[in-house]
Chains A and B, each alone.
Chain A
């Protein structure tokens, strides 16, 4: 299993090369991979349905407790089959849909990366491994939504999807890490046994909320649903595969997977169920207001995801069964409908519901697929979706109070009938609405066969439900509930409330379908309201972020060196000053009585000439005053018995004054760049900084001790280092490495001056 997934990643390298040789036939070759994977997982059906699980593990980052461990049970098997099976069809379909596109190879590469990541997500047993694959699905989704990257809406939709799911992903990561901390393990199979410990842990609420945030952004739950309709910028095969059949169900998968650990508390029910219900209603309602068939389908997908979430929120045995059934049914009919809409778009150039009609004659195979899938979506008997709906009513009717959820699901069911009609039925029936540029004709078989298979499966499973129940659904439900379950789906349960409700919803739906245009018109006044939805909040927060970022950067990175220096000095003074005040330092003042008069005079000279430097309006005067400072310091060295240092200082000072005068003499006159206020501010800051350093030195003198190094130097300088001048010996022997460094500095400085003077690339290139 691990190798299958890893090899799928590696295989993503090949399509670009294959494309060069095979062109549009690449799809058939690429499809071999998902087909083989489907076959591989199909082999496990027997074993899993009899209650077994398959575990494989490879070490990855054991020091963090992260293993490349895969766990195949009913739920992951169901998902794996959906992913690889639908993947096969989508790959074949894309070959024709994008035939001749110059980036077909890259498209397949990304699709394969997505497929591998999605498989990894549902198979992973380690939550961090799961997260790794989860993020990879987000990113491959980003690339695929923005596939038509020359179009701005595509790029923006891609970024939006990435940001929303990415934000959720980070919450999820935090949640996983907290979960790992609370439960002491990162392996899901071990976590499942620790449900009680987790639920009673003080971290439970943050863990739950963080993980829910991850799952709900991914599965486009209200109020994060807006990215999904926008993601319809992607090519239709991508919308089919990622944004309907598989990736958006990752959130549902996660909720189902972790429900034995996290579910069953009041907060779970009070969050998950209402969010699911609101999403279901919002999506269903908004889908009716759309005219673009892809958007109709996108909003109804949002609604369906909400339905599944709602059922997982309820969490009872029948609810889990309903969720799993609905998941399968939805993948089949919605996938088919998306592919049908893709064919319509491809062959006629439009997806507007108002412009499509009467196409059955021109494209019978596609029409058949569309009508079958629409029929399933509407939930008519004997489709599998009908069974799923019955099961949903059964589960909902058990809840207390049942009336809210029942009413909500009734409304949603009514809308699904309309959506099925608009997308699967209307384009093919009635009279042709419009003349298209080229007369519409049937798509190549590689395109229509894919939706036909899915739509037919959706009905076939409904007619013969028991094998599906026995081999797939039971073990999947068993995995969700962590208890052996037997699912026995059946078309006919006798005349009961469920049947009455679903029949009523169907009839209501048919009525609404017939009145759909009127309904849409009557809802038009609501449109301005819709633009104030959560998506508005998303764009607002991006705008705020931009404003804040601009403001802070204008203040901080002003481009003015004097401000940079000011901030640096203020920060230094503030932080160092605060750390000193905090610890109430003792200043070394007790030796002030030793102060001699000539020392005091020198200090006054120093201070006066410093003031002169700062205040002077002539450069020469400033340089002269600087020289005075240097000489005064040298005198201080002399007074404190360091004659050699003093001599050096005298030489350096003399030399630098001469050099400075020579250079500065050629410069233009002083100009005032700062106002009096600014100069006052700078003076305050400078005084504070100077005061701080003074205080610091005073503190240091209070604790100064004899340098422990000096005796060693005195003792060994002549004997071992053969030098009488200790300073010289220190420089060239004891600490010779420092001198090497300093010599290098001088050499580089010389080199730099030479190069700066000689080389000017700017002049040569003229910019």
Chain B
């Protein structure tokens, strides 16, 4: 039974509906919300195991045969992404039990989070390009409301930029889908893959590819389209920023990898070379941006942008090893960025600010928090044996094997600069004395965090920290799964066969 493909959409949907029915009953919503997230995580694993054992799974919605209805399809890449969505959901929602204000919780925080997860999972699992657009819309509207929820001035300003630029992306996406439908006559991605070669003007396919690249590039926040990200991510409460940072940008990357492995592989010299150039520029401009920021979450936002370049780099190199690296890097990045934004939330809970200039002294006052920051921070810096090291190692290896030395050098330099950024953050927020204590006063917490809520805050961060360590120490199984995922991405016949079956 292929019900396993439906769970990732149904579970968050049902949870959201249930939460809405329990409107204003915060405690009921909390229970429902956590349960839903855990179930989503479980369904992700179920899907992963199922795809691992029996290959790509597909199900036709309403039993209308492909390509006429909508197909849900999951290869390993999709399944991995759904597992990551579940992980982010669980960690962020558990975290928000201790760090989310009553107002937002009473005004739809939980249902919105699940709608967001539903949109994300839908995007990961759909096999239809217009349906993908719909899931993007679901995601966009949910994230829009989550960003604006609370109505603080900075939030609204960030939200406006976020929505405007993301609507540009939607418009481009829709235009591209429309033109592609006109040219190929189908919306099913497997079917599109089969017929893309028959388009009378191959140049049009390249142009379409560029359009998709731009539409998804805005979502993924690549250079020079990433403005909305540093403008909006530092504004909402920590859990919302964490799920955005950890998960949302990855949907853009997922979509890029999906279309540039399945649909647009006719003109590699143009499209994938362009991807590679953009990847390099994203890495550099992101990390340079991070170097000059003075606010913890703005720094993290720029680092996030920079490392999106690494994920695109693998796609641009386009060998089996490179795609493996990209998939691995996504897994790594989801873990560490969610973790870092959550650590940022704890810092803010402890000290009442994100400004680097007023932070300090956390190393002596909060040793556990320091350790929990160091793990993902070093992983971002590529210190072995954490997961970030392996991601970069495999990318660099893939780049060298294909002789792409320029991007390899860029990646290595950006890795060093990332380490610099993270260590500067470490030195300023954790190592040095708190600026307050120099003046003679002791460090005063804005609102002292109780032991119980500290436990709740630390648990998800600890899990994420251990995961980046575990994914590094036990890199082999993770890489093996990613490598199989890359196999499936590059050998599109299996995907097409799973979706279309024996249809000629």
Residues of A within 8 A of B (CB): 59-64, 102-103, 106, 128, 131-132, 135-136, 139, 142, 146, 149-150, 152, 155, 158-159, 162-163, 166-167, 170-171, 173-174, 177-178, 181, 545-546, 548-550, 552-553, 556-557, 559, 561, 564-565, 567-569, 571-572, 575-576, 579-580, 582-586, 693, 696-697, 699-709, 712-713, 716, 733-738, 741-742, 744-745, 748-749, 751-752, 754-756, 758-762, 764, 767
Contact = CB atoms under 8 A, between A and B. Distances in A.
A700 B289 contact: no
A265 B203 CA distance: 52
Q: Interface size for chain B: under 10, 10 to 19, 20 to 34, or 35 or more residues?
A: 35 or more
27 contacts: A106-B367, A132-B389, A135-B383, A135-B384, A136-B384, A139-B378, A150-B431, A150-B433, A155-B432, A162-B419, A545-B288, A556-B285, A557-B227, A568-B165, A572-B172, A579-B206, A582-B206, A586-B201, A696-B179, A700-B182, A709-B185, A736-B62, A741-B119, A751-B111, A752-B144, A761-B101, A762-B150
Nearest to A554: B292
Given A155-B427, A556-B227, A705-B185, A545 B103 contact: no
Contacts of A735: 69-70, 130-131
Interface in B264-313: 270, 274, 285, 288-289, 291-293
A745 B103 contact: no
Contact of A546 (B231, B292, B476, B483): B292
Please give me the 6 A-B residue pairs with the lowest Cβ-Cβ distance, nearest first: A583-B203, A752-B145, A762-B152, A741-B134, A149-B431, A549-B288
Nearest to A117: B384
Contact of B214 (A559, A572, A585): A572
B150 A701 contact: no
B203 A584 contact: yes
A703 B270 contact: no
Main secondary structure of the interface of B (DSSP, over half): helix
A737 B131 contact: yes
A549 B292 contact: yes
B150 A561 contact: no
B431 A146 contact: yes
B218 interface: yes
A149 B365 CA distance: 13
B206 A550 contact: no
B141 A749 contact: yes
B476 A703 contact: no
Given A142-B423, A759-B104, A567 B138 contact: no
A752 B156 CA distance: 13
B400 interface: yes
Nearest to A206: B405
A550 B101 CA distance: 36
A700 B291 contact: no
A549 B289 contact: yes
Contacts of A707: 181, 185-186
B372 to A, nearest CB: 15
Given A135-B383, A744-B115, 6 more contacts: A177-B400, A557-B230, A702-B201, A709-B67, A748-B141, A759-B151
B401 A61 contact: no
Interface string B410-427: 001101110110011001
B319 interface: no
Interface of B: 13, 20, 61-62, 64, 67-70, 101, 103-104, 106-108, 111-112, 115, 118-119, 122, 126, 130-131, 134-135, 137-138, 141-142, 144-145, 148-153, 155, 160-161, 164-165, 168, 172, 175, 179, 181-187, 199-204, 206-207, 209-211, 213-214, 218, 224-225, 227-228, 230-231, 270, 274, 285, 288-289, 291-293, 363-364, 367, 378, 383-385, 389-390, 393-394, 396-397, 400-401, 408-409, 412-413, 415-417, 419-420, 423-424, 427, 431-433, 475-476, 479-480, 483
Contacts of A564: 161, 164-165, 227-228, 231
B479 A64 contact: yes
Which of A142, A150, A553, A579 gathers most chain B CB within 10 Å?
A579
B483 A63 contact: yes
Contacts of B427: 146, 149, 155, 158-159
Contacts of A760: 150-152
B141 A745 contact: yes
Contacts of A163: 416, 419-420
B416 A170 contact: yes
